[in-house]
């Protein structure tokens, strides 16, 4: 019996940002609809340079804290909130989603948006959360488990359009990334 060598790892990009965005994928609700906010930010690498070819996916609860579970999240009909979206970064590393502020989906937790990051140089996707600022962040179980100096990398900052959430892939002020059971980095 012969022993086979492992296949070398491949990075997850950069083609994701070009091949997978779908029309309206970044609009979980139409811009200007009641309760619509803009979640936007900048994705940077370890040197602080913008990442122009990242792809971000979000999944979230609606304003009442209900996580949609029906199929059809790629179909945008203008009124059904699917809770899922996908956006590519532009040439300057910026991304934007139009969505609603999620409600609390679990008692004792702060409202958040789950985010997945795909980018060049990554051997696997990265998972993080975008927490809404407010009183609930002080008692959220996940945030409370982090060192105090790292928590703010998961909390969005309000601005005139909605929420800003910058993602730093590594280095100083790196965004906290999560590992889930069964997920191998």
Domains and CATH numbers, the chain: 36-168 (2.60.130.10)
Whole-prediction pTM: 0.86
* Neighbouring C-alpha atoms within 13 Å toward the C-beta of 47: 3
Q: What is the pLDDT of residue 177?
A: 95
* d(C-alpha 146, C-alpha 43), whole Å: 22
Pick the residue with more confidence: 25 or 185?
Answer: 25
SS3 173: coil
Outline where the chain has alpha helix (H).
Answer: 16-19, 141-144
Q: What is the pLDDT of residue 78?
A: 65
* d(C-alpha 23, C-alpha 85), whole Å: 11
Give the model confidence (pLDDT) of 28-56 as tens digits.
998 888 889 999 999 999 999 999 989 99
* d(C-alpha 28, C-alpha 119), whole Å: 22
* d(C-alpha 26, C-alpha 134), whole Å: 25
Q: How far apart are the first and last CA of the chain?
A: 30
- Confidence category of residue 106, pLDDT binned at 50, 70, 90: confident
- Confidence category of residue 17, pLDDT binned at 50, 70, 90: low
Give the model confidence (pLDDT) of 68-86 as tens digits.
877 765 566 666 788 999 9
Tell me the mean pLDDT in the region 110-120. Answer: 93
Instruction: Tell me if 41 sits within 8 A of 167, measured CB to CB.
Output: yes
Within 10 Å of residue 111's Cβ, how many Cβ atoms? Answer: 22
């Amino acid at each position: 019996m012969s022993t086979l060598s492992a296949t070398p790892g491949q990075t997850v990009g950069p083609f994701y940002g070009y091949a997978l965005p779908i029309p309206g994928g970044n609009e979980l609700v139409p811009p200007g609809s009641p309760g619509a906010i803009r979640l936007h930010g900048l994705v940077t690498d370890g040197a602080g340079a913008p990442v122009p070819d990242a792809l971000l996916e979000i999944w979230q609860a609606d304003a009442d804290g209900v996580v949609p579970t029906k199929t059809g999240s790629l179909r945008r009909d203008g009124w059904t909130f699917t809770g899922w979206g996908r956006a590519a970064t532009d040439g300057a590393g910026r991304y934007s989603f139009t969505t609603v502020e999620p409600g609390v989906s679990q008692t004792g937790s702060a409202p958040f948006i789950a985010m997945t990051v795909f980018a060049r140089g990554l051997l696997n996707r990265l998972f993080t959360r975008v927490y809404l600022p407010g009183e609930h962040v002080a008692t959220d179980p996940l945030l409370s488990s982090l060192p105090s100096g790292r928590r703010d990398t998961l909390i969005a900052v309000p601005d005139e359009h909605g929420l800003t959430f910058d993602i730093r892939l590594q280095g100083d002020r790196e965004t906290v990334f999560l590992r889930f059971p069964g997920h191998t980095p």
